[in-house]
Each structure stands twice: as structure tokens, then as C-alpha cells.
């Protein structure tokens, strides 16, 4: 008769009797002080603090009894973060679970939920360590493959899909939110009803689900977004306004906003943030003092910033004062597809720094705005100048070249090479810094250009105030804007 397949999730700790340990010691050839001791004896010594991670560390950290493993994990002094003990206990628990045909055990659950530990790709190298090979029998190590938490969770996808109503209850008994969320995301064609049920019953899995949101069907992505937004406090909540500190700072509110942030920043959610969604978040932030440290309010600002591509002018103008650094403003500018001259000007008013100027100058729509262009022409940033050269009027080209030749002769030389048809706009005095340079390349380029101007080999192309070629030059083409590589 065929033996029944074990449940893929085990909720009880696996223990070893003295007889089983004796058999394991014989199998491994371990004797005397090197032999595994009975769990009761080891647990008593751990409780009495009679162990240290010295000579005992290999036999202690690779002990097969899960009561021992759990006792060690609950002692940070014996299993410090990132140390030998933590990785050895993980490898042992993982190997025995795999050999047993079990996907998840209490020890693995505690490692992820209680110690926030699961080794990255280097975890497979732990299986090759001399201590692991000496302490774990070959039958347990045979065919052992390293999996990330997400890959381990994927092993339960078919299991959950086969009986979702009953097995979701079992899944939600686990403590590791990252694992539970990954299982749900791994279920192909997961029902929106099942996902919403899981989120309502276990809100803490929201951020984990959100990190892989793009793997969800569109209907489930919408469920995730709506669940997080609709759960935020509103003005009808017990008569409290969204600005009430005890409403805005609840743990659930932070979970919901972290879910939203992870959805767009990491999960690449394809369901856009609507204007109503943005207004709801802005109402949540209205009149609030945004703390510098992590908080629900700060997370709400980051959600809006990472979703800037979906925001209209009004929402962007409300968001700009809430951003706390020029890095955040520059990142928002690059995302904000619906930005307007009013938005770009507000960004410059908020932080007229190199980062913000460069972000605006790299936005074609901004550079085409006369108002923004005039503001950027006052910049002392070389990269901004180079962005403005493409499409510059004759007066702008002369002004930008004169700025460049005073600041950086190499940049001035590249401008002449990329815009030879406009060099005739310059006066001899404009080229003097190149002629007086100590570098031969600068002097040679200036002398060659002056000679071409005197012989008429270079004829200036006339440009209208908007930078387009004018008159008889309208049909001429310019050299590629090679300076973009700078």
C-alpha cells in the first residue's frame, strides 16, 4: 500500500528520541564529545547558559532536533544576526524539511518571521561547508537545492489552488508574512475574492504581496490597490478627520500605505493611481507636519512621489512642498509626465539646485517652454547648458558658448565640433580662451576655425528665437547632438 504524502506545511516541532539520535550518530560516525546529545540535555544546558559558540558550535548548530534549533534561535547571544550559527541552523532545518517532503516548518517560519533571516544566493554554499557535510547525513543532503523564499513559497501554489477555501485557513496560521504573501502571488489565476479575503484576514501580508504585484492578474492588482486605499481613514471614521494623530499613525494605516508604496515602487503595479486616489492621499496629508523619520504620513508622500506619472498639475503642485530633498524633487520631475511650466517653476522655487535643474533640462517639454528656458539659461550647470543648446536661438547659442568657454574649455571645444555651422556667430574674442590654452588641441581647433571664417568656408546658419532654422537655412540639417553623451 502506497504511503500517504505528508502535508506540505508542518506545524509541530520534530524531535528525536535518544534511540534515534544514537542511530544518527552511528550513521555519521560521531562518538564521545562529537556526538549529538539528547534534546533534553541540550535544552537544559542552553537554559543554564552553559553553551558558548566555541568548540561546541558545529555539533550544537547542526543538531537535528527542532526543539534545540528553536531554543537556539530564541537566544540572540548564541545566534547573532548574520553569523555562523544562524546560517547553520537554517541549512540544517531546510535540509531535513526537504528530505521529509515538507515545504515549511515551524523553524523555517520563525527564521523568516522572528529573525528576518533567509540567506540569499550564497545560501547554496553553506551546503558545501565541511561542518554541514560532517553533521548532516548524505541521505538528507542528496539532491538538496537552494531556493529563495519566493521559490519555496511557489511549491505551495498548486496545493493552495486545489482547495483554496480550506487551505487558506492553514496558510494564514503561519507567522512569516513574506512567505504567506509569496504563496498567494504564486497561485496562477488566483481569484480576486480569495486575495481580498486573505488581505482582510491578515493585513500584514499586504506589503509582501505588493512587492510582487505585477505577477498578479489585473483584477487582483486592482483589488490590492483598492483594498489599501479604501482602508485608509476618512472623515466619516467615528467623526475623526484624517488628520487626527491617533487615526493617521495606526499600525493598520502604516501597513496599508506601505502596501501601496511597495505596489508601485517595487511591484510595478500596472493599475494606475486615479485622480480620486491621489486626492484621497492628499486629503490624508492635508495640514499635517510631515516627520523626517519613517511614518504613515511620510509613506503617503512617497506613494504620491513614486506615482507622479499619474498625477495632474494640481496634485503635483500640492506634492512638491511635501518632498524633503532635491533628490526626491528631481526623481518626481523625471516621472511626472503631466507636469506643466507651473510645476517645473514650483520645483525650481522649492530647490534651485543642480539636480533639479538637470532633471528639468532633460525634459523636452520643459526646455521648449519659454518661461522655463529663460530660468534655465541663468544656470551655472554645464549639463544644463548642453541640454539647452539643442534648439537654441542664435542669441542663446552665443550666450551659452561664452558661459562654457569661461568654465570648461573641453566643453567649449565639443560645442564647436557639434555645431560647426553656428561657429560664425561668434567673435574672435570669444575664441581667445581657446587660443591662449596650454593644450595644443584647444589652440589648433581655434586657429582652424578662425581660418575657416576668414576664407568663408563656414557660413552661419540662422536660427529663429525658438531655435528652429530660419530663412534659407530652414532646409538644412544640423549635426547630431553628440553632446548628449556627456
Rounded CA separation 66/63 (Å): 8
Rounded CA separation 480/28 (Å): 72
- Give 405: exposed, middle or buried? Use CB within 10 Å, 0-12, 13-18, 19+: buried
461 phi/psi in degrees, rounded to 5: -85, 130
Rounded CA separation 450/431 (Å): 9
Show the cell assigned to 404.
562654457
Scan for cell 466619516, then name that residue.
236
Rounded CA separation 217/121 (Å): 28
Measure Cα distances from 373 to 387, 390, 404 in Å: 10, 12, 17
Rounded CA separation 240/305 (Å): 26
CB 310 within 8 A of CB 273: yes
Nearest to 380 by CA among 353, 398, 345, 346: 353
Extents of the domains making up the chain: 18-146, 153-157+172-376, 382-485
Alpha helices in 266-325 (DSSP H): 275-285, 296-306, 313-319
CB 149 within 8 A of CB 183: no
pLDDT tens string, the chain, 486 residues long: the values are: 445 677 899 999 999 999 999 999 999 999 998 999 999 998 998 888 766 666 678 899 999 999 999 999 998 888 888 788 999 999 999 999 999 999 999 999 999 999 999 998 777 889 999 999 999 999 999 999 999 999 999 999 999 999 998 999 999 999 999 999 999 999 999 999 999 999 999 999 999 999 999 999 999 999 999 999 988 875 334 334 444 444 455 788 889 999 999 999 987 889 999 999 999 999 888 877 777 667 888 899 999 999 999 999 999 999 999 999 999 999 999 999 999 999 999 999 999 999 999 999 999 999 999 999 999 999 999 899 889 988 889 999 999 999 988 888 988 888 888 888 888 888 888 889 888 888 888 888 888 888 776 665 554 555 554 555 444 444 444 443 344 333
Show the cell assigned to 250.
495606526
Measure Cα distances from 219 to 195, 224, 275, 430 in Å: 10, 9, 19, 63
Measure Cα distances from 199 to 164, 249, 263 in Å: 14, 20, 14
- What are the residues facing 9 on neighbouring strands? 104
State the pLDDT at residue 448: 84
Amino acid at each position: 500500500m502506497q504511503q500517504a504524502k505528508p502535508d506540505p506545511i508542518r506545524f509541530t516541532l520534530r524531535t528525536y528520541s535518544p534511540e534515534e539520535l544514537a542511530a544518527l550518530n552511528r550513521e555519521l560516525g560521531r562518538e564521545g564529545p562529537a556526538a549529538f546529545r539528547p534534546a533534553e540535555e541540550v535544552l537544559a544546558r542552553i537554559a543554564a547558559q552553559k553553551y558558548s559558540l566555541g568548540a561546541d558550535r558545529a555539533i550544537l548548530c547542526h543538531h537535528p532536533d527542532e526543539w534545540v534549533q528553536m531554543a537556539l534561535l530564541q537566544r540572540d547571544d548564541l545566534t547573532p544576526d548574520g553569523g555562523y550559527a544562524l546560517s547553520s541552523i537554517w541549512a540544517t532545518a531546510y535540509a531535513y524539511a526537504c528530505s521529509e517532503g515538507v515545504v515549511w516548518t515551524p523553524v523555517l517560519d520563525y527564521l523568516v518571521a522572528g529573525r528576518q533571516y533567509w540567506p540569499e544566493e550564497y545560501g547554496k554554499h553553506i551546503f558545501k561547508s565541511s561542518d554541514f557535510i560532517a553533521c548532516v547525513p548524505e541521505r538528507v543532503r542528496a539532491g538538496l537545492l537552494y531556493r529563495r523564499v519566493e521559490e519555496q513559497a511557489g511549491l505551495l501554489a498548486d496545493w493552495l489552488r486545489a482547495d483554496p477555501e480550506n487551505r487558506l485557513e492553514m496558510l494564514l496560521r503561519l507567522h512569516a508574512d513574506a512567505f504567506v504573501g509569496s504563496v498567494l502571488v504564486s497561485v496562477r489565476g488566483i481569484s480576486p475574492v480569495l486575495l481580498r479575503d486573505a488581505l482582510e484576514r491578515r493585513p500584514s501580508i499586504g506589503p509582501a504581496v505588493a512587492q510582487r504585484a505585477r505577477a498578479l492578474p489585473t483584477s487582483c492588482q486592482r483589488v490590492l490597490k483598492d483594498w489599501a486605499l479604501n482602508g485608509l481613514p476618512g472623515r466619516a471614521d467615528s467623526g475623526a478627520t484624517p488628520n487626527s494623530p491617533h487615526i493617521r499613525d495606526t499600525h493598520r494605516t502604516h501597513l496599508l500605505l506601505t502596501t501601496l508604496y511597495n505596489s508601485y515602487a517595487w511591484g510595478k503595479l500596472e493599475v494606475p493611481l486615479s485622480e480620486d486616489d491621489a486626492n484621497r492621499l492628499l486629503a490624508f496629508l492635508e495640514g499635517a507636519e510631515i516627520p523626517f523619520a519613517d511614518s504613515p504620513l511620510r509613506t503617503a508622500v512617497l506613494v504620491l512621489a513614486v506615482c507622479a506619472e499619474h498625477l495632474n498639475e494640481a496634485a503635483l503642485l500640492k506634492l512638491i512642498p511635501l518632498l524633503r530633498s532635491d533628490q526626491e524633487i528631481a526623481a518626481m520631475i523625471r516621472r511626472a509626465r503631466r507636469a506643466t511650466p507651473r510645476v517645473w517653476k514650483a520645483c525650481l522655487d522649492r530647490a534651485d539646485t543642480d539636480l533639479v535643474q538637470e532633471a528639468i533640462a532633460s525634459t523636452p517639454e520643459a526646455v521648449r517652454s519659454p518661461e522655463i528656458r529663460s530660468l534655465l539659461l541663468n544656470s551655472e550647470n554645464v549639463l544644463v547648458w548642453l541640454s539647452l543648446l539643442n534648439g537654441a536661438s542664435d542669441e542663446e547659442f552665443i550666450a551659452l558658448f561664452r558661459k562654457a568657454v569661461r568654465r570648461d574649455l573641453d566643453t567649449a571645444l565639443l560645442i564647436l565640433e557639434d555645431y560647426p555651422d553656428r561657429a560664425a556667430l561668434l567673435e574672435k574674442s570669444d575664441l581667445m580662451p581657446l587660443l591662449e590654452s596650454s593644450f595644443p588641441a584647444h589652440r589648433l581647433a581655434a586657429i582652424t576655425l578662425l581660418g575657416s571664417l576668414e576664407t568663408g568656408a563656414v557660413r552661419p546658419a540662422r536660427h529663429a528665437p525658438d531655435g528652429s532654422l530660419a530663412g534659407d537655412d530652414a532646409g538644412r540639417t544640423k549635426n547630431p547632438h553628440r553632446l548628449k553623451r556627456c
